[in-house]
Homo-oligomer: A and B are copies of this chain.
Amino acid sequence: MTTGLSTAQLIEKHRPARDRALEAIRSREFWSPHPEHPKAYGEGGSLSAEAGQAAFDALRGTRFALDDQPGADGEWTATESSPYGLELGISYPHMDADVLLPAMRAAMPAWRAAGPEVRAAVCLEILSRISARTHEFAHAVMHTSGQAFMMAFQAGGPHAQDRGMEAVVYAYEEQTRTPESASWSKPQGKRDPLDLSKRFTAVGRGVSLLVGCNTFPTWNGYPGFFASLATGNPVLVKPHPRAVLPLALTVRIAREVLAESGFDPNLVALAAEREGEGLAKELALRPEVRIIDYTGSTAFGDWLEANALQARVFTEKAGVNTVVIDSTDDYKGMLANLAFSLSLYSGQMCTTPQNLLIPRGGISTDAGEKSYDEVVADLATAVSKLLGDDARANALLGAIVNPQVRERIESAPSLGEVALPSRAVEHPDFPDATVRTPVIVKLESAKPDAEAVYLSECFGPVSFAVAVDSTADAVSLLRGTIRDKGAMTVGAYTTSPDAERLIEDACLDECAQLSLNLTGGVYVNQTAAFSDFHGSGGNPAANAALCDGAFVSDRFRTVEVRRPA
């Protein structure tokens, strides 16, 4: 498939979506051009479920060649293993950075000269090609992240594509705030004015390194990928060794579109690493690398921020997400909503609540006063009911992504009184998959040994029902948790305007995104592109938000050339 389109035609083709997306980020109203439902991609055609499955199957057990990418050193790496136990057997070319990085830098001048409008159009064409292969990506994301199919489809497909498009239009808008040229005429009283003619060019910083993550390779990867590419930077993609395929497909598609549009395909390249190579650390310190996007552990994120001083580093790290439970006028809705949030993808989201702060004296609800023990027991029941049916449990939970998460579930009972034990769920199609329901542990906020437990991120389906003195106590704990540990999300339930103001003030003071009284089909762990900010960038969980001006504005610089008019 080739576009056969000139860059002018690409601009025409994508202008309506670009302008609509620009409108959406200004209004923050709902919008998405990428269909969420698998059936929307038709039956039998090239976009269909069947075609996607076939394309994915054809990749298994093969070498994923990127023939024209320079610097292949002859080695092939195969580091993936599906959390579902499916044999992937895909190997990727290993590269020599000393050859690849100079080739990437050499691609910059023509990409810079193309200007922001052409770059945006090429990026949107890449996204539309990715969108056409959403079913194939769904399998790739499912079998690397362990997400259930529907989630892999939606979060790894349309939602990730939305986030990518959002970054493209933020980048476009930022670069076009300054005009391409200007006439400057300064009056000099009776003398002739001083006249200059000025040209302004958006110039990329240099090679942008994307360090991918295991759980959301496309959703967390696309914002940085497209923000950097759209602002004139070559992007080197270093996927997580367990989630290479979704980003390798992305790289291949991007290289195809770039070449077809007349640009050097080396503007996008793959750096697959061998087992235990520590390639991200090596690449992050290369002088050619001037931008880094990273999602993962706090330890490595902090290391990047402290050591990759030649680069602008955007990090999303660990955090401890809190839900304050003060009161509710929809007890059933609250329990159902929380049960879903704790269960989705087995809590393996950076946005999943970990600490549920509940007053020891209980809470007021539309179903009467509920004691701390009752709230915890009712929540445990809600989770058990939600996941009582194995088919539904599998569809919601997905698979445990790695042995460390499984170990955390297994050792959770040692942390405190178990309110809800985890159970293993059989997967009908993938008997080797590790599928586990969430565990809820009761803790006392004031006990020092408990504090050490709930104030550490326990990534995976382990949450803590923390008994607190009062809502005021909960808010104080919330503040300290955000300040010291960071938070991608905060949730709260209250019918009291006073409590609501306390919680809001805490989130404004400590810079965390707050979801209030969610009882329906929106969950604290989900954000929508073009409307919601993912993270705030203002607490230790992340130094940037997806997506805002700051996420794109420092990826390029504006070079001015002025001369007498």
Spell out A's residues near B (CB within 8 Å): 25-30, 108-109, 112, 174, 177-179, 182-188, 194, 196, 198, 200-201, 203, 205, 305-306, 309, 504-505, 507-509, 511-522, 528, 531-533, 536-538, 545, 548-550, 553-554, 557-564
CA distance A55 to B160 in the complex (A): 61
A203 touches B538 (CB 8 A): yes
Tell me which residues across on chain B come within 8 A of A545, comparing CB atoms.
557-558
CA distance A538 to B204 in the complex (A): 9
Tell me which residues across on chain B come within 8 A of A514, comparing CB atoms.
559-562
Tell me which residues across on chain B come within 8 A of A519, comparing CB atoms.
564
Which residue of the partner chain, among B30, B194, B203, contacts A521 with CB atoms under 8 Å?
A: B194
Using A28-B184, A518-B564 as known contacts, list a sample of 7 further A-B pairs with CB atoms less than 8 Å apart, ordered by residue number in A. Answer: A25-B178, A29-B184, A196-B522, A203-B511, A306-B306, A533-B558, A538-B557
CA distance A197 to B78 in the complex (A): 46
A298 to chain B, nearest CB (A): 13
CA distance A28 to B181 in the complex (A): 8
Tell me which residues across on chain B come within 8 A of A515, comparing CB atoms.
561-563
Which residue of the partner chain, among B26, B29, B536, contacts A559 with CB atoms under 8 Å?
A: B536
User: What are 10 A-B pairs with beta-carbon distances under 8 A?
Assistant: A27-B182, A28-B200, A30-B186, A174-B549, A178-B548, A182-B531, A203-B538, A306-B306, A515-B561, A536-B557
Which residue of the partner chain, among B182, B186, B201, B306, contacts A28 with CB atoms under 8 Å?
A: B182
Tell me which residues across on chain B come within 8 A of A201, comparing CB atoms.
508
Shortest Cβ-Cβ A-B pairs, 7 listed:
A538-B557, A28-B182, A550-B553, A516-B563, A549-B553, A550-B554, A514-B561
A531 touches B305 (CB 8 A): no
A179 touches B538 (CB 8 A): no
Which residue of the partner chain, among B504, B508, B528, B537, contacts A184 with CB atoms under 8 Å?
A: B528
A330 to chain B, nearest CB (A): 9
CA distance A499 to B185 in the complex (A): 27
CA distance A548 to B29 in the complex (A): 27
Q: Assuming A528-B184, A528-B186, A549-B177, is B561 touching A507 (CB within 8 A)?
A: yes
A81 to chain B, nearest CB (A): 36
Tell me which residues across on chain B come within 8 A of A537, comparing CB atoms.
554, 557
For A185, the closest partner residue in chain B by CB is B30
Tell me which residues across on chain B come within 8 A of A513, comparing CB atoms.
559-560
Q: Assuming A309-B306, A553-B548, is B562 touching A179 (CB within 8 A)?
A: no
A203 to chain B, nearest CB (A): 6
For A536, the closest partner residue in chain B by CB is B557
B179 touches A516 (CB 8 A): no
CA distance A513 to B196 in the complex (A): 14
Which residue of the partner chain, among B27, B178, B517, B559, contacts A512 with CB atoms under 8 Å?
A: B559
A270 to chain B, nearest CB (A): 25
**Count of identical protomers in the assembly:** 2
Tell me which residues across on chain B come within 8 A of A109, comparing CB atoms.
505, 508-509
Tell me which residues across on chain B come within 8 A of A305, comparing CB atoms.
309
Which residue of the partner chain, among B194, B504, B509, B516, contacts A520 with CB atoms under 8 Å?
A: B194
A442 to chain B, nearest CB (A): 28
CA distance A184 to B27 in the complex (A): 9
B179 touches A511 (CB 8 A): no
Which residue of the partner chain, among B26, B182, B533, contacts A177 with CB atoms under 8 Å?
A: B26
Tell me which residues across on chain B come within 8 A of A560, comparing CB atoms.
513-514, 532-533
For A178, the closest partner residue in chain B by CB is B28
B536 touches A558 (CB 8 A): yes
Tell me which residues across on chain B come within 8 A of A194, comparing CB atoms.
520-522
A78 to chain B, nearest CB (A): 37
A495 to chain B, nearest CB (A): 12
A285 to chain B, nearest CB (A): 13
CA distance A182 to B531 in the complex (A): 8
B553 touches A203 (CB 8 A): no
Tell me which residues across on chain B come within 8 A of A29, comparing CB atoms.
182-185
Tell me which residues across on chain B come within 8 A of A203, comparing CB atoms.
508, 511, 536, 538
Tell me which residues across on chain B come within 8 A of A196, comparing CB atoms.
522
Q: Assuming A550-B554, A554-B550, is B511 touching A559 (CB within 8 A)?
A: yes
Tell me which residues across on chain B come within 8 A of A186, comparing CB atoms.
30, 528
A564 touches B205 (CB 8 A): no
CA distance A185 to B31 in the complex (A): 9
A515 to chain B, nearest CB (A): 5
A498 to chain B, nearest CB (A): 16
CA distance A512 to B560 in the complex (A): 8
For A36, the closest partner residue in chain B by CB is B186
For A544, the closest partner residue in chain B by CB is B554
CA distance A517 to B179 in the complex (A): 22
A508 to chain B, nearest CB (A): 5
Tell me which residues across on chain B come within 8 A of A533, comparing CB atoms.
558, 560
B184 touches A30 (CB 8 A): yes
Tell me which residues across on chain B come within 8 A of A563, comparing CB atoms.
515-518
A379 to chain B, nearest CB (A): 20
Tell me which residues across on chain B come within 8 A of A200, comparing CB atoms.
28
CA distance A559 to B305 in the complex (A): 23
Tell me which residues across on chain B come within 8 A of A531, comparing CB atoms.
182, 184, 198
For A535, the closest partner residue in chain B by CB is B557
CA distance A564 to B494 in the complex (A): 13
For A108, the closest partner residue in chain B by CB is B509
